[in-house]
Amino acid sequence: MQHRVAAIGGDGIGPEIIAAGKEVLDAAGERFGFDIAWTDFDVGAERYLSTGELLTEEDLRDLSKFRAIYFGAIGDARVKPGILEKGILLAIRFHFDQFVNLRPIKLLKGVTTPLADKGPEDVDFVVVRENTEDFYVGIGSRFSGRHEEKTLEVVRDLYNIRFGLDVETDADEIAYQIGVVTRQGAERVIRYAFDLAVTRDRKVTSVDKANVLSDVYGLWRDVFTEVAAGYPDVATEFNFVDAVTMWFVKNPEWFDVVVTPNMFGDIITDLGAMIQGGLGLAPGGNINPTGTSMFEPIHGSAPKYRGQDVANPLATIWAGSMLLDHLGEPDAAKAVLRAIEQSILDGFVTRDMGGERKTSEVGRYVASLVKKV
C-alpha cells in the first residue's frame, strides 16, 4: 500500500521538524505495511523574498492531488507579520475548505503540566475549531476620515448614533472587521464534533460568546441545539469563552469534545497547549473530510532556533500521527503516539522539555520506538 503525501517544511525550524516527522512516519510504514511517497514543496519566506510568490495557482493545483499535506511552520522576521500567515497557511486552509481544525489537548504520561494535582486522566479532550469563518473571513477596512463612501453603512450609523459624531467629518481614522457565521458553516463543523464525541466520551461543549455577539453566536447556538437533537445520547453544554479559560485550568476533566468558532478556537488552543505541557507538544489537523487536509504543529517557526537542531519535533510527530489516522492507518497512528510517550518516559527529549537531545536524535529515537511499542 502506498500513500502519497505532500510536505511543506516552510521557515525557521520547519524543515528540521518535518524531517524528523517523516523519519517516524516512514518507520511506522515499515512496521504496518505501507510506504509513503513524499513530494516536497518549496513554499515559505525564502521563496517569497526571492520571487515574490507565496502560493501560486500551480502550487494549489499540485497540492490538490494529495489527500494530506504535512506542514512545518511559516514566519520570518524579514517579512511583515500577516503576509506569510495569510498568504500561505490561511490560504491553504481556505482554498481546500479545511473546515475543521482538530486540536487534541491530551497530557501524555511523563509530561509536566502547570496544573497542580492534574494528571493524564484529567487532561484528555479535543477542540474542534471551526476553520473557515468567523473573524477570519477577511472582510473589513481601515482608512482615514472623509471617505464616507468606503464606510460600511452599519458602522457609520453606529458611530453616529453611539457617539453623536459624523464619520465623514469627525473620524480621523476608523477600522472595522466583521465576523461571519453561516448555517452551513456552523452545521458541518458541529456535526463533525458530535460524530467525534460518539467515538469518545459522548459530551460536546460549545464555546462561544452568545451573550454579547448575539447575532453570529446566536445562530451558532441555534444550529448547535438543532444538531444536538439528532444525538440524544450525547451530553451537551454551553460555555462562554471567558469562562472556559477558567474551566480549562480548574476542571479540564469536564471536557470531552469542545466545538468553537474560529477565533475563540485559536485562543483557547494555545491555553490548551500549555496545560498539555507546552507548544512543543501541541499538534493540529486542518481537515476537509472529502478533500485535501493539512497536519501541522500549532507552534510557529521559531526563527532564532533555525538550523540548530534543537527544536522539539514531538508536536510535528504527533501531527504526523493524526495524518496517518486520516489516511486510514489507525494502528500506525496509535503506535506513533505510544512511541512519543515512550521517548518522553525515557527522558529522550529536547532542551525545552528538560532533556539534552537534538531534534534529529529525537526523530531517530521515536522512529526506532515506533517499530516496537
Cβ atoms within 10 Å, residue 209: 18
Q: Which does 90 bind (CB under 5 to 8 A by kind): ligand IPM, Mn ion, none?
A: ligand IPM
Of the residues 124, 134, 266, 325, which is catalytic?
266
Q: Which H/E stretch holds residue 208?
A: strand 203-208
Candidate residues 124, 266, 325, 361; the one interacting with Mn ion per rule CB under 5 A: 266
Beta-carbon count within 10 A of 121 CB: 8
Q: Any catalytic annotation for residue 201? A: no
Please identify, using beta-carbon distances, which residue of 266 and 329 lies nearer to Mn ion.
266
Q: Which does 279 bind (CB under 5 to 8 A by kind): Mn ion, ligand IPM, none?
A: none
Choose between 90 and 228: whose C-beta lies nearer to ligand IPM.
90
Of 83-91, 120-128, 159-167, 184-192: span binding ligand IPM (CB under 6 A): 83-91
Question: Segment 160-199, which members bind ligand IPM (CB under 6 A)?
Answer: none
Instruction: Determine the distance from the C-alpha atom of residue 12 to the mean position of all C-alpha atoms in its chain, rounded to a whole number.
Output: 18
Q: Pick the closer one to ligand IPM by CB: 228 or 271.
A: 271
Nearer to ligand IPM, 82 or 230 (CB): 82
Close Cβ partners of 7 (under 8 Å, ≥ 6 residues apart): 18, 22, 38, 39, 40, 41, 69, 70, 71
Looking at the DSSP assignment, which residues form a beta bridge with residue 207? 239
- The residue type of 200 is R
**Cα 90 from Cα 82, distance rounded (Å):** 10
Nearer to ligand IPM by Cβ, of 124 and 266: the residue is 266
Q: By C-beta, is 63 or 268 nearer to ligand IPM?
A: 268
Burial of 307 by CB count in 10 Å (0-12 exposed, 13-18 middle, 19+ buried)? exposed
Q: Which does 89 bind (CB under 5 to 8 A by kind): ligand IPM, Mn ion, none?
A: ligand IPM
Q: Say if strands 124-130 and 100-106 run parallel, antiparallel, or are unpaired.
A: antiparallel
Applying CB under 6 A, the span of 82-90, 197-205, 314-322, 327-335 interacting with ligand IPM comes to: 82-90
* Selected binder of ligand IPM within 5, 7, 13, 89 (CB under 6 A): 89
* DSSP state letters, 221-270: HHHHHHHHHT-TTSEEEEEEHHHHHHHHHH-GGG-SEEEE-HHHHHHHHH
List the alpha helices (DSSP H) in 100-240: 153-163, 167-170, 183-198, 216-229
Q: Please tell me whether residue 43 binds ligand IPM under the rule CB under 6 A.
A: no
Q: Which of 136, 192, 305, 365 is catalytic?
A: 136
- 3-class secondary-structure state, position 22: helix
Q: In whole angstroms, how close is the CB of 15 to ligand IPM at the nearest point?
A: 18
> Residues 6 or more apart from 30 whose CB is under 8 A from it?
371
Query: What SS3 class is residue 7?
Result: strand
Contact 277, 113 (CB under 8 A): yes
- Residue 60 and residue 93 in contact, taking contact as beta carbons nearer than 8 Å: no
Min dist CB 319 to ligand IPM, Å, is: 11
Give which of ligand IPM, Mn ion, none residue 85 binds (C-beta under 5 to 8 Å, depending on kind): ligand IPM
Binding residue (CB under 6 A) for ligand IPM from 26, 60, 67, 85: 85
> CA 288, CA 131: separation in Å to the nearest integer?
10
Number of residues that bind ligand IPM (CB under 6 A): 5
Q: Which of 40, 157, 242, 346 is catalytic?
A: 242
The reply to whether 90 sits near ligand IPM by the rule CB under 6 A is: yes
Q: Which of 11, 133, 134, 266 binds ligand IPM (CB under 6 A)?
A: 266
Q: Which of 35, 166, 215, 270 is catalytic?
A: 270
For residue 79, the minimal CB distance to ligand IPM (Å) is 13
Is 270 catalytic? The answer is yes
**28 vs 319 by CB, closer to Mn ion:** 319
Whether residue 106 lies in the annotated active site: no
Residues that bind ligand IPM (CB under 6 A): 85, 89-90, 266, 298
Residues that bind Mn ion (CB under 5 A): 266
Known catalytic residues are: 136, 209, 242, 266, 270
